[in-house]
Amino acid sequence: MITNSSRWQQWRDFLARVWHLTLPYWRSEEKWSARLLLGTIVALNYLIVELAVWYSNWNRDFFNLMDEERWGDFWMMLAQFAAIMLVFTSVDLLEDYLRRTLHIRWRRWLTLDYLERWLSGRKLYRQQFHPEATDNPDQRISNDIHQFCERTMAMSLQLLRTVTSLFSFTIILWNLSGSLEFDWADSHWVIPGYMVWVALLYSVFGTWITHKVARPLAQLNFQQEHREADFRFHLMRVREHAESVMLQQGESAEKKRAVNLFGKIWHNWNRLTRVKLQFSAMNSGYNEVARIFPYLVAAPRMMSGALQLGDMMQTATGFYRVQEAFSWFVDAYEQVSEWWAVTDRLISFSDQIDGLEDTTPEQPSDLPGWSSLTLSDPQQKLLFSAPELFLTGHTLIRGPSGSGKSTLMRSLAGLWPFHEGQVHLPDHRQCMFVPQKAYLPHATLSEILCYPHPSGDWSDDECLSALKQAELPHLTEELNNNQNWQQRLSGGETQRLMIARVLLQKPRWLFLDEALSALDEDSRHRLEQVLHTTLPDTKVVMISHQPSASQ
């Protein structure tokens, strides 16, 4: 059973984590521009509330004018209204522009911060082995950061404006509502500013009802985000692997899986809709009653002649503003629950990537190797164990499938998290790792050949020469074409392209993990010979199942 104290502790812990997530930007290199923008936005929000008070006073005077039939002042009052609206519109547009500017600057900084932490220290690879691996990190960086910045700013400024409005209109309402006098239990009772107390009680009651009705919204919104992302990720994978799906006649299986994933969206959406419907019904009724309620409460004073028509209208406006301020939690409950879901996803992802250790090889060395190295699989099954070894030249690694050859290569690259001992590797700028299934960015061929370095580091002539040496002369006319090469090229062409990249960049140490497996034997021998002839100073460490692979 969750007690009120445990809920309060949960809120405190969550807000502390939100503060930890929010604070770095306001202490970053952009802190002064960010603080200046925020200060200006806060000042404009305060001015908007003051303009609302100004309009409230104009509204009172205008209805008093009509009540007293002072038609000579009618056009002057309309001129005042035009001035109020002009100033209000200008201030509101300026506030919106500055808020949007601050939002995109904050989002940019936070996005770059997450990218830096996620795409450094080999965490991109290691994160998938976490026991509670964060689902869809791409969505959290692209969408959740956007939602967090937008909603945090919107709610914070809305709350600020609400508090400012509360103080301003409470004073107006207190002065207009007068005192409520009545006899009860043989005593004479006087309640000063009674409409302020009525607005407070009305809002407290509405907040309590809202919390009871809409409590499940936060968890349901969290689940909806999660299931939408899973469905989108599945469709993306089907599109990327369309050829394999078709060749395996897997359309029906993928359709069934997609329907199942969408079924989860459907089920959670229906639950979310029911809760939102209950919340909307309660919230709509609450707000509609709030529109007429102040007239009912203030009517006795107007009937007694204590209030003019204009005073009555300003009293109703003041009551609605005060009640609206007290009821901020009622109106913003759904927004808060959605913000909670997005923020919780972002915080959990941040905590997870911060908890991953940097797996850059621990001991820089002139030679690759290891000391007292033990490798295991994710289930802690032993794969490889060796006391100490340094690779001094060309090395061919063979062994039965599943014996840990590729895992050893990942360990040398600093990727594999399930190891004990020390790994030694030369400076990463001297090493190149080529996996069996290479990644080709959506870029030009020249950019792929230079990857991950800028394409300008090598000339077009050098790129063309590398393509010809790797037996890809038919691609030389398309060096600067930007397209999806991952889908266009065959497996053999992709591996040849990776060899062309090696020939261009000339690493000191080259690690090939079945990087020529898609080639026929003659082609493989020719490319191996090209590597040894063209790059005589490059030491090659190769994993191969082919018995004829050269060493």
**Calpha distance 232→264 (Å, rounded):** 13
Per-residue confidence (pLDDT) for residue 1, from 0 to 100: 46
**Calpha distance 187→184 (Å, rounded):** 5
Per-residue confidence (pLDDT) for residue 504, from 0 to 100: 92
Assign 423 to helix, strand or coil.
strand
In angstroms, the Cα distances linking 189 to 163, 173, 179, 297 are 30, 20, 10, 17
Q: Are residues 296 and 383 in the same domain?
A: no
Quote the tokens at residue 437: 């299934």
In this structure, the number of other CB atoms found within 10 A of the CB of residue 468 comes to 14
Quote the tokens at residue 91: 């201030």
Query: DSSP per residue over 86-135, as a string?
Result: HHHHHHHHHHHHHHHHHHHHHHHHHHHHHHHHHTSTTHHHHGGGSTTPPS
Per-residue confidence (pLDDT) for residue 513, from 0 to 100: 87
Q: What is the CATH number of the domain that holds 255?
A: 1.20.1560.10
Q: Is 548 part of any domain?
A: no
Q: Is 206 part of any domain?
A: yes
**Calpha distance 208→163 (Å, rounded):** 20
Q: Is 376 part of any domain?
A: yes
H, E, C per residue of 211-269: HHHHCCHHHHHHHHHHHHHHHHHHHHHHHHCHHHHHHCCCHHHHHHHHHHHHHHHHHHH
Q: Is 55 part of any domain?
A: yes
Q: Are residues 422 and 324 in the same domain?
A: no
**Calpha distance 481→494 (Å, rounded):** 16
Beta bridge mates, 183: 188
Per-residue confidence (pLDDT) for residue 355, from 0 to 100: 74
Per-residue confidence (pLDDT) for residue 199, from 0 to 100: 72
Q: Are residues 87 and 211 in the same domain?
A: yes
Q: Within a 13 Å sphere around the CA of 284, how many CA atoms are in the beta-carbon half? A: 6
DSSP 8-state assignment for residue 357: P
The rounded Cα 28 to chain-centroid distance in angstroms is 19
Q: Are residues 66 and 187 in the same domain?
A: yes
Averages of pLDDT over each 10 residues, the chain, 551 residues: 61 81 90 92 87 77 71 78 86 91 93 86 72 71 88 85 76 67 66 70 72 72 81 80 68 85 90 80 69 66 61 68 66 74 84 71 72 80 80 80 77 80 83 85 88 86 92 90 85 90 91 86 89 90 66 50
Q: Is 402 part of any domain?
A: yes
Give the structural domain span for 395: 363-543
Quote the tokens at residue 220: 């349901």
Dihedral sign, CA of 478, 480, 481, 484? positive
Going by their DSSP bridges, the two strands 482-483 and 443-444 should be labelled as antiparallel
**Is the Cβ–Cβ distance between 176 and 314 less than 8 Å?**
yes
The number of distinct structural domains making up the chain is 2
Q: Are residues 288 and 215 in the same domain?
A: yes
